[in-house]
């Protein structure tokens, strides 16, 4: 059973466009992480959001945690070819639980 659904599954856009990736669940998480995986490499942690409604910015990337802590979004402004990769969200339920990874969104930014 996949607890975290990401949409869209695939996204191909032109350089300079904006985009939003969604991570949705019916479960409540104490925190939510976003990772980016480039071809041939392992995923790398981008950010962790922990408070309902929290917004974090990382250069052109904006991450938001839903008020009810069941969902999150990643918005990229003026996408660059270097943003190309697989974006994964992962939810943590706190305590000694392990994270649960989402289904992933594969992004291609065309120069």
Partner 1 sequence: DADVTQTPRNRITKTGKRIMLECSQTKGHDRMYWYRQDPGLGLRLIYYSFDVKDINKGEISDGYSVSRQAQAKFSLSLESAIPNQTALYFCATSDLGGRDEQFFGPGTRLTVL
* Interface residues toward partner 1, by CB under 8 A: 9, 30-31, 33, 35, 40-45, 48, 50, 88, 90, 92, 96-99, 101-104
Beta-carbon contacts of residue 51 (< 8 Å; ≥ 6 apart) = 65
Tokens of 4: 């975290």
Q: What are the respective helix, strand and coil percentages of the chain, to the nearest 5?
A: 5, 50, 45
Nearer to partner 1, 43 or 85 (CB): 43
Cβ(91)–Cβ(106) below 8 Å: no
Which residue, 88 or 109, is less far from partner 1 as judged by CB?
Answer: 88
| Rounded Cα–Cα distance for residues 35 and 111 (Å) | 23
16/94 with CB nearer partner 1: 94
Smallest distance, partner 1 to C-beta of residue 43, A = 5
In the complex with partner 1, which residue's Cβ is closer, 15 or 53?
Answer: 53
Q: How far is the CB of 16 from partner 1 (least distance, A)?
A: 27
């Amino acid at each position: 059973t996949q607890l975290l659904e990401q949409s869209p599954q695939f996204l191909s856009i032109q350089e300079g466009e904006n985009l939003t990736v969604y991570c949705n669940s019916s479960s409540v998480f104490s925190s939510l992480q976003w990772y980016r995986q480039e071809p041939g490499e392992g995923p790398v942690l981008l950010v962790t959001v922990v408070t309902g409604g929290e917004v974090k910015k990382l250069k052109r990337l904006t991450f938001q945690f839903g008020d009810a802590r069941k969902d999150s979004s990643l918005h990229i402004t003026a996408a660059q070819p270097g943003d190309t990769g697989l974006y994964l969200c992962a939810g943590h339920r706190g305590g000694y639980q392990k994270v649960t990874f989402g289904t992933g969104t594969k992004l291609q930014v065309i120069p």
